[in-house]
Structures are given as structure tokens and as C-alpha cells.
Amino acid sequence: MGKAKKSWEKRLGGGPDKLTVDYVESLSIDRRLYKYDIAGSIAHAQMLCEQKLISKTEFGKIKKGLIEIDAEIASGKFKFDKRLEDIHMVIEAALKSKVGEAGKKLHTGRSRNDQVATDIRLWMRDEIEVLQAKVTRLQQAFVKLAGKYVDDVMPAYTHLQRAQPVSIAAYLLSFAEQLERDYVRLANCRALVDVSPLGSGAVAGSTLDIDRKSTAGTLGFTGISGNSIDAVSDRDFCAEFIFDCAMIATHLSRLAEDWIMYCTNEFGFISIDDAYCTSSSMMPQKRNPDVLELIRGKTGRVYGALMGMLTILKAQPTGYNRDLQEDKVHIFAASDTVSQSLDMACAVVGHTKFDTKQIGAGLDDGFLDATALAEYLVGRGVAFREAHGIVGTLVAECEKWGKRLGEVGLDELKQHSPVIESDVYSRLGARNVVGKYATEGAAGTKQAKEQVAFWQKQLAQR
Ligand code: ARG
């Protein structure tokens, strides 16, 4: 394109330095907003027509031109010229060269400041839906896997030390809970996003009779922003959105960390499908969980985006500042990364097998039933602190003898506490304990069954 003149070049002499052109352009990042920009422009033009600021014929030309531009961009034929800075200017310039005079009227009562704020919100509204669907899909994968292992038992850890036995299903469903909060956080964010800034202009609105409720309605926004100065500079929702992505990344990273450990020879709890492993260029025996490591590693990108976004917002003077253009770098990075990681996690979860034999073989190591024994004593009238001490002493002795609690004879047990009877053996051993959990939401077999049923129903409604 020979001439890529912007309207303000009448004000500024010469034209920008080449360095400036490259430095200020955002087209390379924001061209993906084109559909939203076009939708926003059609809504704006329709309102201008309703308000008699442009004629019906002009609106017709603008709309037709914008639809053609949309198709050209979608087909890949469109020529982008970065000298026009951003997607907003590119589309407006293309419209002007298509429909002439009418195109020059599109920007009436509008600034790129309210335009870009609108575009981002439209994009984010869709993106949130996509992310929510992916979160749900991953939850479903966990529920499906949990359904297979309700009756199987594994150790739960605190401080990464063997703690208490749990149903494998309960372990898996702990991720469904985390993801549910992610889903709700995104829904809350969507409510903040659902406000139209269009019509706020550059910073102060317009002296023209712009009907903001009309454009908001056309674009499907629930409300309009209350203050034009705030509306053009508000990117709180961007920080919030990235935070929501960062929490998803956190949860995926914790899952990855668990499973990287669980698939080691040392644990041998799970096997990750070959399709999600890689090997080593040197060590022929290797089967590495690189996909999980990258899920963990890419979390850094998302946290970086959050820090980047917050830093952009800090110390900006009131009103729109060009700093804000950097917002898109971070929202796209966060969203793209998390979106990909959610897909990856879903595939891995869908193909992972728990080695219940291997887990079962080690289950009676580490005194997972110690707490249950203390609670047995409580049931027989011993104060919990007392019971805790009795079992602690027993465990120390067992360690010396190389015995499990369930292998200690009744006489020996009675020497530690006379209230112990032979029924104690039905309370010892990891499997017995998991069948005895009584509290709501506990990690026992019974509760895991209920939770699987709950999630199946809950997620089917989405
Ligand atoms: N490309 C800018 C952004 O993404 C919008 C342009 C606003 N520019 C301006 N000079 N007011 O935020």
C-alpha cells in the first residue's frame, strides 16, 4: 500500500520515523480482534443511523463494506499495513477505500479509546465461554477417571509424608473442586466484562447525540459504563481475567507436580500414556513426562502476564494512556497458554491409569491407620490427646519391631490401653479405614461414590 495516511498526519508534520512505526504498532497483536472490531463498528454505525447522524444509505454501505472486509480477513487475502498502527485503523482505512465518503463518517462520536475497550470486552466474553467449556471438560475427565477407582485406596500426603488412606476417586475429585472454583471465578469475571464502554469517546464522551444503550443492546452487553473517564482506562477486568487464568494454571501445575512424582519408579502410582511422554536423545530407556513438566513450566508465562498487566496499570495517570495497548499482549498470552494447557491436561487425565496393585502393595507401610486407631480409642472413652499419645508410643515401638499396627497382638495392645478389644483389627489397615470415614466430604469410599454421582449430575447440566 503506497499511502497509509492517518487523519492526524494533517496535525503532525512529516510522518513518523520508521522506528516509531514499528514501536507503536499493535496490529501484529490485535489483528485477532478483527471480528469484534467489525461487530462493534456495525453496532455503532447502526446507532448513528438511528440517531440520524448518518443516512440509511450510508449505514447500508458501511455495513456491507465491513462485512466484506470481515470475509477478506477471514480468507487470508487481506493485506495488513502496520503503518496504520492497529486493527481499528486498518479496518477503517479499508472501509474508506471501499465505500468512500460514507466510510469517513463511521468514526463519528467514537475514539479508538472506547473502541478498543469495547473490542477487548467482546473478545473476552467469548474467551471466557471457551475457557469455561474446557474447564468443564477437564472436570468431566476427572469424574470419569474417579468413577473407575472409587473402591481403590491410596495414601494421602501432608508435608509429602504418608498421612491417611483415601479413595483414589476422592483424590481425583479434589481437582474437580479446584476447577469448579475456576469456573465460578470466570463467571464472576464475565459479569464485570459485561458492561459497554462504547460511546465514552476519547475520555469525555461526545457532544453528539450518541445512544449508548442502543450499541450496548446490539452487542449484547447487559449495561453501560457509568463514567467515560473510567471507562476508557478501566482494565481491571483484564487483570482479573489473567488472575483467573493464573489460578487455573496453578491448579494444573499442582496436578502436574503430583503426577510427575506419581509416575516415577519410586512411586509407581500411575502410568501416563506413551502419547503424552517423550524420550531422551541420549538415554534410550527414558520415558519422560514432558507434557506435565510443560504444564507446570508454562504457569510461569501466565504469572508473568499477571505481573505484566498489573504493572501496566500501576501509576497511570487518569484517562487513556498508550501503555494500555500492552494489555492485549498479556491477556492473549495468559488465555492462549491456559487454553492449551487445559486441552493437554484433559488428554492426559483421559488416558492415565492408576497402578492399583503397586499402590496396594505399599499401602500398609507408613502407619496410615494410626489416626483411625486413635479415633477408635476415642470411641471407647479415651480423651483424644491421650489416645494420640498412646498410638504415638505404639507406632514408635512398631517401627522398632518392624511391625504394622494390625500385626501387634491383642495382649500387647491392651498393655498400651486396656479399652482395646479384638474389634480393633477391623479398624486397622488402610482399606478398613477408608470404609469407615464418617464425616461429610471425607475421602472415604462412601463419600467418593456420592461425589462422583454429584459431579456427574452437576456437569451434565452445563
Ligand atoms: N491500539 C491502541 C490500544 O490497543 C488503541 C489506540 C488508542 N490510541 C490513541 N492514540 N488514543 O490501546
**Domain extents in the chain:** 9-108, 113-153+167-361, 370-460
C-alpha cell at 301: 508465562
**If 0-12 CB within 10 Å is exposed, 13-18 middle and 19+ buried, where does residue 244 land?**
buried
Q: Residue 85 CA: which ligand 1 atom is closest?
A: 1
> What's at 280, amino acid-wise?
S
Confidence class for position 12, pLDDT limits 50, 70, 90: confident
Q: Is the pLDDT of residue 391 over 90?
A: yes
Q: Please check the confidence at residue 415 and state whether its pLDDT lies above 70.
A: yes
Residues 75, 159, 281, 422: which is the catalytic one? 159
Mean pLDDT in residue range 342-360: 97
pLDDT of residue 1 exceeding 70: no
Ligand 1 pocket mutation pick from 21, 112, 309 by most atoms within 8 angstroms of CB:
112
> For 216-238, what is the mean pLDDT?
98
- Do residues 428 and 406 touch, judged by C-beta distance below 8 A? yes
Average pLDDT on 305-323 reads: 97
Q: Which residues contact 272 (CB under 8 A, 6 or more apart)?
A: 259, 263, 289, 291, 292, 348, 351, 352
Is the confidence at residue 348, as pLDDT, over 80?
A: yes
Pick the CATH number of 370-460 from 1.10.40.30, 3.40.50.10480, 1.10.1300.10, 2.30.30.830: 1.10.40.30
Which atom of ligand 1 is the closest one to the Cα of 86?
Answer: 1
Is the pLDDT assigned to residue 153 strictly greater than 90?
Answer: yes
- Identify which of 122, 124, 325 to mutate to test ligand 1's pocket (most ligand atoms within 8 A of the CB): 325
Which atom of ligand 1 is nearest to 320's Cα? Answer: 11
pLDDT surpasses 50 at 87: yes
29 burial level (CB within 10 Å; 0-12, 13-18, 19+): middle
Is residue 138 a contact partner of residue 342, using CB atoms and an 8 Å limit? yes
Atom of ligand 1 nearest to the CA of 87: 1
Query: What CA–CA distance (Å, rounded) separates 155 from 167?
Result: 8
| Cβ neighbours around 212 below 10 Å, total | 23
Spacing, Cα 321 to ligand 1 middle (Å): 8
With pLDDT > 70 as the criterion, what percentage of the chain qualifies? 99
Is residue 353 scored above 90 in pLDDT? yes
Cα of 83 vs centre of ligand 1, distance in Å, is 14
Q: What is the pLDDT of residue 3?
A: 58
pLDDT of residue 280: 85
The helix (H) or strand (E) run that includes residue 120 is: helix 112-148
What average pLDDT does range 9-15 have in this prediction?
Answer: 77
Give 346's pLDDT tier (boundaries 50, 70, 90).
Answer: very high
With a Cβ cut-off of 6 Å, ligand 1 is lined by: 26, 30, 86, 112-113, 116, 320, 322, 324-325
Distance 69 CA to ligand 1 centre (A): 21
The mean pLDDT of the chain is 96
Residues 6+ apart with CB under 8 A from 256: 292, 293, 295, 296, 345
pLDDT at 279: 85
pTM of the model: 0.95
9-108: CATH architecture: Orthogonal Bundle (1.10)
Known active-site residue 107 = no
Residue 159 is a catalytic residue: yes
Residue 206: its pLDDT value, please?
98
Q: Which of 280, 335, 341, 416 is catalytic?
A: 280
Q: What is the pLDDT of residue 14?
A: 78
Q: Is 313 exposed, middle or buried (0-12, 13-18, 19+ CB in 10 A)?
A: middle
Q: Which residues touch 26 (CB under 8 Å, ≥6 apart)?
A: 85, 86, 87, 325, 328
* pLDDT computed for residue 269 by the predictor: 98
Residues 374, 438: contact at Cβ < 8 Å?
no
Mean pLDDT of 65-82: 97
- Three-state secondary-structure class, residue 95: helix
pLDDT tens figures, 20-33: 999 999 999 999 99
**CA–CA dist 154, 170 (Å, integer):** 10
pLDDT at 236 over 60: yes
pLDDT band for position 281 (50/70/90)? confident
Residue 2: pLDDT over 60: no
Mean pLDDT of 218-240: 98
Classified by CATH at the fold level, domain 113-153+167-361 comes out as Fumarase C; Chain A, domain 2 (1.20.200)
Q: Whose CA is nearest to atom 5 of ligand 1?
A: 112
